[in-house]
Each structure stands twice: as C-alpha cells, then as structure tokens.
Amino acid sequence: MTSSRDFFHSRLGFVLAAAGSAIGLGNIWGFPTQAANNGGGAFLFVYLIVTLLFALPALYAEIYLGNQAQSNPVSALKEACKDSVPNLGKHMGIIGLCGAVMMLSFYTIVAGWMLANALSPLAALLNFSDLSVWLSTSSTTRNLIFTPIFSLLGAAIIHQGINSGIEKWSSRLMPVLLIMLLGLIVYILQQPGAIEGLKVYLIPNFSQVMEPTLIVSAMGQAFFSLSVGVGGMMVYGSYMKKDHDIGKLVLSIASLDMFIAFMAGLLIIPALFVAQHAGFEVFSDGKLIGEGQLIFNILPQLFSSMGSIGLLVSFAFFSLLSIAALTSTISSIEVPVSYLVEEKSKSRNSATWLVSLVVLTASLLIIAFFDTLFGLVIQVLTTILQPLSCLFYFIVVGWLWKRGNKLVATNQKNHSKWLGLWGNYLRYCCPILLTIVFVNVAILN
C-alpha cells in the first residue's frame, strides 16, 4: 500500500505547502488581534520567544516523525511507539485526527466569512448593492451557504492528490498571497492615522510581558500558527522522501510563518487606527471592541468609506484571507483522508467526501450553538489539545521510539554535535518546560 503513495516532487513544493498550512487566519487575523489586545509589541516579543522555545521544536518533531514513518499520523505514531506503548501511540494519532476535524469545523466557518466578504465588493461593482450588503453582513444564512462552499473548495484540491492538488495549488497561491499583502501594507500605511498604529505595534509595552494570560495566549497562538499537534505537518512530512535536512526545512517554514504574521500586524493594526481616525469606534479601555470579530465589521466599513479604490482594497484584503485559509484547510483535511485511504482502504475520492461531510456536520453544530461552541472549540484545541499532542511528540522522539532517543542516536551516527544537542533539547527541556506551562494553565483556570 505504501508503495503507491503520492509525493511532493520538490523541496520547494514541500516548503510552500507546509508554509501554506502554517500561514492562515491565525497569522493574518489571530496574531494581529491578539497583539492589539495584549500590549502590541510586547505580544510580538513573547510570541517570538515561545515560538522558538516550543513551537519550532514541536514542528521539527512532528515533521521528523512523519518523514521517518512515511505513513499517515495514526500509523506513524503507532509504529514509533511499537516497542513501548503501541496503543497509546495509535490513540494519540486518533486524537490528533479529531483535532484536525475540530480545527476544520470552526475554520471553514471563518473562512466562509472571508470568501463572502471578498465577493461583496464584486457585487457592488456589478451594481448588486443589496447582495453586496448581504455578503458583508454576518448572518446564519450566510454561514449556512459559505461554510459548505469553502469545504467544497478544500475538498476539490484534496481529491486531486499530493502533487497535482496540494503542491500545485500551494505553489500558485502562496506568491499571490505575499504580493497582495505587500501591496495592502503600502496602501494602508499612507492613510491618515496609520502611523499611530504602527507605533503601538512596534513599541512594546513591557509592563504586560510577564502576565500569565499573555504567555498562555502567545503559546496557543504559536502552536496554532505553526499548525502543530493535529498531524497535518506529520502527514506532509510523510509525503517527502527521506534523507532531507529537516532542520533547514523547518527553519524556512517557521521563518516564513513568523514573517507573514509580523507583516499582517503591519497591515491590520495600522488599519484599525485608520478606522479610528475616520471616526469608527475601535477600542474601549485599550481592548478591541467585540473581540477579534470586529475586524470583519470595521474593515469593510472603512473600505467602503474609501470610494471605488476601497472596493479594490476590500477585494484584495479578503481574497488574501481566503487564500491563506484555503492552504491551511487542505492540510487538515489531508490528515483524516490519509488515514482512511491507508488504514481503511477507502479511495481518495470517497475519503475526501466522507471527511468533508463529517466536518460540515460539526460546523453546522457550531453554527447552531455559535455563542457557546465557537470560542470553546478554539480554546480547547489551541490551549489543550495542540500543546498536549506536542508534549507527546517530544516524549515519543526523546524517549519511547526504539526505547531511547532516536534523534540523538541518528545524529551520533552522523557525528553531528549540534544535532546531538538539539536531540537532548527536545528530550529534556521541551517536555519539562511545556509541563510547567501546563501546570500554570491548570492553576490559572
């Protein structure tokens, strides 16, 4: 079965697909919103530290596990734990798979908002003004139409496979995303009020740096942003031939991810201050009004007050978000799809439709009980499930695999001192530090 596996055809293709998974709404919406709410530059600072300390090593461990196993996350973890705790490995793989479905269940809803908002300026240009207003106003009907549309877009790419689907589309969409982002930043920074936002973003307010809530938020954000802990990066790692220098690949993916989050902050925070300057109410008591969702109310209003150039800006902005969301969505869909294809002998087509159906059902549940479920699912996923899975990856790579430290063993064979140190960092420091944070979260709650 493994011999018929599809592969990424180039290293660049792999990096773009993995960066496409990492770069998503978490970077362009989540990161700037959290930064605006948590001391601007101070959040940026803490975010960088926790990414380097935990999220990047977790990304390494996850890709390494998948790459060594050359199979889906459930069998990869089961195989890695086969000498010690095979059942635990399998169950943790399944938990990751559920995490991927959880991620998709709310992500496709938000992605649907982006798509609707991207179409709204087009409707306005074609003089369908009622339609345009409907597309940019949140409603349950809009959710019920655009969430399935977004799931379908993801499914359409996934059913084409790894090389012709994921690799091709990521390589097309990621450069477009970068160009749009740069263009929008240049435009927004020229608007009145933008420079004030730039200062808030770049000058840290260090009085907030040691607040435990800030550290926990930054950690959740870092894990979510690098897409670790749900098996998406593991499955991508498994579609790359063995013997690549994973360290270098991981560094490129994480740098691209952090760079885009940083750039998104340069766009969104100044844009919020431009809106404030134009008379919109954006902050109260230093916090964003209406949590993060305000961006979807304020920014369309701001763009529409800018006349016809505003329509273009709005289209570019929400298309940017839709593209970012799409390349992240496909990596999560691939997790259960690869499991069904390899372990349950389903065809790729039927696995894709089955997974889409399950995700859609979960999304409908969230839409029906939006106020209770939406925030809860995000919180459970990012602050419990993802860090817990990463803790497990560290323990597997450092302790359980072949009853010892597989990384250290491999690296000793290659006579690499740095990699040996890295192996020990993953073995000792990461699990201990992560456990300390966990205990703190438990006490905080």
The torsion angle over the Cα atoms of residues 241, 169, 104 and 255, rounded to 10 degrees, is 70
Q: For 287, list phi and psi in degrees, rounded to 5.
A: -110, 155
| 294 touches ligand PHE by CB under 6 A | no
Please identify which residue in 105, 208, 217, 227 interacts with ligand PHE, judged by CB under 6 A: 227
The verdict on 338 binding ligand PHE (CB under 6 A) reads: no
Contacting residue, 17, 18, 25, 77, with ligand PHE by CB under 6 A:
25
- From 25-33, 170-178, 203-211, 339-347, span contacting ligand PHE (CB under 6 A): 25-33
Q: How far apart are the first and last CA of the chain?
A: 46
Give me the least distance between CB of 357 and ligand PHE, in Å please. Answer: 20
- Residues with Cβ < 8 Å from 219, sequence gap 6 or more? 50, 54, 55, 383, 387, 437
CB of 46 to ligand PHE, least distance (A): 17
Q: Does 26 bind ligand PHE (CB under 6 A)?
A: yes
In the complex, least distance from residue 41 CB atom to ligand PHE, rounded to whole angstroms: 20
Q: Applying CB under 6 A, does 27 fall inside the site for ligand PHE?
A: yes
The one segment of 139-147, 224-232, 307-315, 420-428 that binds ligand PHE by CB under 6 A:
224-232
Stretch that binds ligand PHE, among 181-189, 225-233, 313-321, 412-420 (CB under 6 A): 225-233
Considering only residues 102-121, where is the footprint of ligand PHE by CB under 6 A? 103
Q: And the tokens for 21?
A: 């998974």
When the beta carbons of 59 and 367 are compared against ligand PHE, the nearer one is 59
| Nearest-approach distance from CB 31 to ligand PHE, in angstroms | 8
Q: How far is the CB of 402 from ligand PHE (least distance, A)?
A: 28
Measured at the CA of 283, the angle between CA 281 and CA 288, to 5 degrees, comes to 120
Three-state secondary structure call for residue 10:
coil
Determine, following the binding rule CB under 6 A, whether residue 151 of this chain makes contact with ligand PHE.
no
**387-318-313-141 Cα dihedral, nearest 10 degrees:** -140
Told to check if 411 binds ligand PHE by CB under 6 A, we report no
Are the CB atoms for 316 and 184 separated by under 8 Å?
yes
Tokens encoding 397: 């790579």
Residue 197 binds ligand PHE (CB under 6 A): no
Per CB under 6 A, contacts with ligand PHE among 155-184 are: none
The minimum distance between CB 124 and ligand PHE, in angstroms, equals 28
In angstroms, give the least distance from the CB of 335 to ligand PHE. 8
Contact between 24 and ligand PHE per CB under 6 A = yes
- For residue 274, give the nearest of 296, 309, 307, 298 by alpha carbon: 298
Per the CB < 8 A criterion, the answer to whether 222 and 84 are in contact is: no
**Beta carbon of residue 266, minimum distance to ligand PHE (angstroms, whole number):** 17
* CA–CA gap between residue 444 and residue 115 (Å, rounded): 37
The dihedrals phi and psi of 56, each to the nearest 5 degrees, come to: -65, -45
Q: How many CB atoms lie within 10 A of CB 175?
A: 10
Local structure of residue 415 (DSSP, 8 states): T
Q: Which stretch binds ligand PHE (CB under 6 A): 117-125, 138-146, 220-228, 264-272?
A: 220-228
Looking only at residues 310 through 329 of this chain, which bind ligand PHE when binding is defined by CB under 6 A?
328
**Residue 356 in the binding site for ligand PHE (CB under 6 A):** no
Yes or no: say if 411 and 427 are a contact pair by the CB < 8 Å rule. no
Q: Which of 17, 22, 320, 407 binds ligand PHE (CB under 6 A)?
A: 22
134: exposed, middle or buried (Cβ count in 10 Å: 0-12, 13-18, 19+): middle
Contact positions vs ligand PHE (CB under 6 A): 21-22, 24-27, 103, 224-225, 227, 230, 232, 328, 331-332
